[in-house]
Chain A
């Protein structure tokens, strides 16, 4: 007789490997979040202005944006300095070799001017002229007058812009008169500044968004400034090819697109699921439909974009134009990309998710409860609406969550169906008919791509990229949370307690 076999365990330490995978996954996610948050904070925190005197005698004033090894002189370090004054110097950033710096100072009276055009101006105020008066920095009234005049100019500029946006055709006489008065006001106020290198520059007050003195700011003032900048970032219009200003139109466009898409995809997806689950017999046709739906979920998004362009934009949009907007042809109205076609394309893209989740939701209603309703004489539809639907709601909302998260993050299909880098007006505004579904729109995802990779001034735009990414992440999180709250409410209502 031979000896009985002996079992020798050679299994991998599966628990340790699985745990390691989890750690790596978490680290990657946390790392991504950290990069975005740190990038945003780094970019938006107000910096001190440093004045460098170089070995050759020249002077530079600007915000230091980090030190790095100098690739041209090994062993040396250089500072990236944002010197602004693009209209004078041609570029916002210069590199300063630390070895060439002889003196470094933080002058108290250095100012930053945020301008509507040409980016920031860094320098020292020399003279303020307004209403025929002249005030110099030594004057006790200077500070007060400067603040008041700039605030006034800001208001007038805003008013000027609104007025001009409203006037589409020839302005009326009153409007023309007001425009002239405003323009006269704006040109009556001028601020003369001196740059670090000694050049004098006169700037009209109307060019200025804000003025501040970073070197006089304490921690409290810096924090306030930081919050103010984030606020401005969220709620103002982009300027200077999207590298400055805010992202409000993109934020609004993304939310609008997602909501419009939800309006399209939820009824369509839920009703499809209702048909498949409640009415259709289990045969080759329904199995085929189910397979097609799940295949649709795996189709690359750019394919949906191409379809949206070919079908919605050219076919449907073209037909709509021929029927209803023939007077404008050959200029297309609906026959070009727009928020309506983009949201329909996104609805198609997210349809499988909603159908599958809704089907699961519908199957959560126990058959005996359906029987109970039928036995009371309820029709199929009444049973569905009053008894099955409460059970299906959490599942349907899960589908909506997934669809919304996906739609908020997609960019590729939008690029073909109506997203633009700069939309002159929002799809929802105060001019009748208020809802402009044919308009092109801005989107956070595309904004990141545009600012990050298509921008003429990539260095200046860097903080915007991080911040836009953060906003997009937060938007997806907020939309998810909302849907989650609705879902849990529906679940709780189902499980009992007060309805």
Chain B
């Protein structure tokens, strides 16, 4: 399979419930791919398959194939911690760690064993600049991450993910806890990043998907209904179900 992320005939469930029922999808190496669909359709579960974050959940099972960066995520020679380090993830709620802003960003690099001050300083500045946060925090790098606003915290989480220099970013409804201004700032930040990394962006906000994404995938009840370029899908949905969802008949 080609692309930064891909899955084939992916079936995932917990205990007796199947959440994903045969999903095949490929995510290109640049640009933003949005995953849309009504609540409970399996968007987040799909996203979390690519860095194996579902594995600890009770009753988890998976059939089918999942690739990240061209490699099978269940390749026994690829430890799960290395996979997760290579695939960045940002969560629904900002989740800064209880440490300083700088230490939040450097969490990943320190795990990777980087100890040199100069190298860490370069990574810190580059990651915070890429997340459009540098100018706001450059004088308070040693303040607690909890002193930031919600929007800043979420951009800090992006910077934290970027500090590991991932080639893929998984965003799980990252703006759902943010106000419109912070959301706009976040969208601008990620759009700029997308020229270099692949972004898979789960959102329940159709306008947001239309604004930011180049590709879109519509999931419904654990099945991929339609996928394609955002302009195409929003203008001329091939499936009547997609059209019904896009026009607000359900969801």
Contacts from A to B (Cβ < 8 Å): 366, 368-369, 371-379, 382, 386-387, 390-391, 493-499
**Cβ B144 vs Cβ A369 within 8 A:** no
Contacts from B to A (Cβ < 8 Å): 51, 53, 56, 81-85, 88-89, 91-93, 95-100, 107-108, 111, 142-144, 146-147, 157, 160-161, 164
- In the complex, chain A residues whose CB is within 8 Å of the CB of B142: 498-499
Residue of B nearest to A387 (CB): B97
**Cβ A373 vs Cβ B146 within 8 A:** no
**Cβ A379 vs Cβ B91 within 8 A:** no
- In the complex, chain A residues whose CB is within 8 Å of the CB of B143: 496-499
- In the complex, chain B residues whose CB is within 8 Å of the CB of A379: 81
**Cβ A497 vs Cβ B81 within 8 A:** no
A387 vs B164: C-alpha distance in the bound complex, in angstroms? Answer: 18
Other-chain residue from B95, B111, B147 in contact with A378 (beta carbon distance below 8 A)? B111
Most buried by A among B53, B81, B157, B160: B81
The 10 closest A-B pairs by CB, nearest first: A377-B85, A496-B146, A390-B98, A372-B95, A375-B89, A377-B84, A496-B144, A377-B81, A368-B95, A496-B147
**Cβ B147 vs Cβ A375 within 8 A:** no
A373 to chain B, nearest CB (A): 7
A374 vs B87: C-alpha distance in the bound complex, in angstroms? Answer: 12
| Also in contact, A493 and B95, with CB within 8 A (given A375-B84, A377-B85) | no
- In the complex, chain A residues whose CB is within 8 Å of the CB of B97: 369, 372-373, 386-387, 390
A493 vs B160: C-alpha distance in the bound complex, in angstroms? Answer: 20
**Cβ B98 vs Cβ A372 within 8 A:** no
A376 to chain B, nearest CB (A): 5
- In the complex, chain A residues whose CB is within 8 Å of the CB of B147: 496-497
Residue of B nearest to A281 (CB): B58
| Also in contact, A499 and B160, with CB within 8 A (given A372-B97, A386-B97) | no
Main secondary structure of the interface of A (DSSP, over half): helix
| Also in contact, A378 and B81, with CB within 8 A (given A368-B93, A373-B97) | yes
Residue of B nearest to A368 (CB): B95
- In the complex, chain B residues whose CB is within 8 Å of the CB of A366: 95
**Cβ A376 vs Cβ B144 within 8 A:** no
- In the complex, chain B residues whose CB is within 8 Å of the CB of A496: 143-144, 146-147
A373 vs B97: C-alpha distance in the bound complex, in angstroms? Answer: 8
- In the complex, chain A residues whose CB is within 8 Å of the CB of B92: 368
Residue of A nearest to B157 (CB): A372
- In the complex, chain A residues whose CB is within 8 Å of the CB of B99: 386, 390, 499
A378 to chain B, nearest CB (A): 6
Give 17 A-B contacts (CB < 8 Å), ordered by A residue. A368-B92, A371-B53, A371-B95, A372-B95, A375-B51, A375-B53, A375-B84, A376-B108, A376-B164, A377-B83, A377-B84, A377-B85, A386-B97, A386-B107, A496-B147, A497-B147, A498-B143
Residue of A nearest to B85 (CB): A377
A494 vs B146: C-alpha distance in the bound complex, in angstroms? Answer: 8
**Cβ B53 vs Cβ A377 within 8 A:** no
Residue of B nearest to A379 (CB): B81
Residue of A nearest to B80 (CB): A377
**Cβ A376 vs Cβ B111 within 8 A:** yes
**Cβ A373 vs Cβ B107 within 8 A:** yes
**Cβ A377 vs Cβ B144 within 8 A:** no
Most buried by B among A375, A387, A391: A375
**Cβ A498 vs Cβ B111 within 8 A:** no
Other-chain residue from A368, A376, A387, A495 in contact with B146 (beta carbon distance below 8 A)? A495
A386 vs B142: C-alpha distance in the bound complex, in angstroms? Answer: 16
**Cβ B107 vs Cβ A376 within 8 A:** yes
- In the complex, chain B residues whose CB is within 8 Å of the CB of A373: 97, 107
Residue of B nearest to A390 (CB): B98
- In the complex, chain B residues whose CB is within 8 Å of the CB of A372: 91, 95-97, 157, 160
A377 vs B82: C-alpha distance in the bound complex, in angstroms? Answer: 6
- In the complex, chain A residues whose CB is within 8 Å of the CB of B100: 499
A377 vs B160: C-alpha distance in the bound complex, in angstroms? Answer: 12
Main secondary structure of the interface of B (DSSP, over half): mixed
A391 vs B157: C-alpha distance in the bound complex, in angstroms? Answer: 19
**Cβ A377 vs Cβ B108 within 8 A:** yes
Other-chain residue from B83, B108, B144 in contact with A499 (beta carbon distance below 8 A)? B144
**Cβ B160 vs Cβ A391 within 8 A:** no
- In the complex, chain A residues whose CB is within 8 Å of the CB of B164: 376-377
A383 to chain B, nearest CB (A): 10
Other-chain residue from A371, A391, A493, A499 in contact with B91 (beta carbon distance below 8 A)? A371
- In the complex, chain A residues whose CB is within 8 Å of the CB of B160: 372, 376
A398 to chain B, nearest CB (A): 17
- In the complex, chain A residues whose CB is within 8 Å of the CB of B56: 374
Most buried by B among A366, A376, A495, A498: A376
A244 vs B162: C-alpha distance in the bound complex, in angstroms? Answer: 71
- In the complex, chain B residues whose CB is within 8 Å of the CB of A368: 91-93, 95
A191 vs B53: C-alpha distance in the bound complex, in angstroms? Answer: 88
Most buried by A among B97, B100, B144, B164: B97
- In the complex, chain B residues whose CB is within 8 Å of the CB of A493: 98, 144
- In the complex, chain B residues whose CB is within 8 Å of the CB of A390: 97-99
A371 vs B92: C-alpha distance in the bound complex, in angstroms? Answer: 11
Residue of B nearest to A388 (CB): B98
A458 to chain B, nearest CB (A): 56
A493 vs B91: C-alpha distance in the bound complex, in angstroms? Answer: 24
A405 vs B3: C-alpha distance in the bound complex, in angstroms? Answer: 62
A369 vs B83: C-alpha distance in the bound complex, in angstroms? Answer: 19
- In the complex, chain B residues whose CB is within 8 Å of the CB of A497: 143-144, 147
Residue of B nearest to A366 (CB): B95
A493 vs B142: C-alpha distance in the bound complex, in angstroms? Answer: 12
A376 vs B142: C-alpha distance in the bound complex, in angstroms? Answer: 21
- In the complex, chain A residues whose CB is within 8 Å of the CB of B51: 375
A386 vs B111: C-alpha distance in the bound complex, in angstroms? Answer: 11
B145 to chain A, nearest CB (A): 8
A378 vs B109: C-alpha distance in the bound complex, in angstroms? Answer: 11
Residue of B nearest to A282 (CB): B58
A374 vs B146: C-alpha distance in the bound complex, in angstroms? Answer: 20
A493 vs B107: C-alpha distance in the bound complex, in angstroms? Answer: 18
A345 vs B10: C-alpha distance in the bound complex, in angstroms? Answer: 56
A371 to chain B, nearest CB (A): 6
Q: A372-B91, A377-B84 given. 7 additional CB < 8 A pairs? A: A368-B93, A372-B97, A375-B88, A375-B91, A377-B83, A495-B146, A496-B147
- In the complex, chain B residues whose CB is within 8 Å of the CB of A498: 142-144
A52 vs B99: C-alpha distance in the bound complex, in angstroms? Answer: 74
A366 vs B98: C-alpha distance in the bound complex, in angstroms? Answer: 11
- In the complex, chain B residues whose CB is within 8 Å of the CB of A387: 97-98
B107 to chain A, nearest CB (A): 6
A342 vs B143: C-alpha distance in the bound complex, in angstroms? Answer: 44
A373 vs B111: C-alpha distance in the bound complex, in angstroms? Answer: 10
A493 vs B100: C-alpha distance in the bound complex, in angstroms? Answer: 10
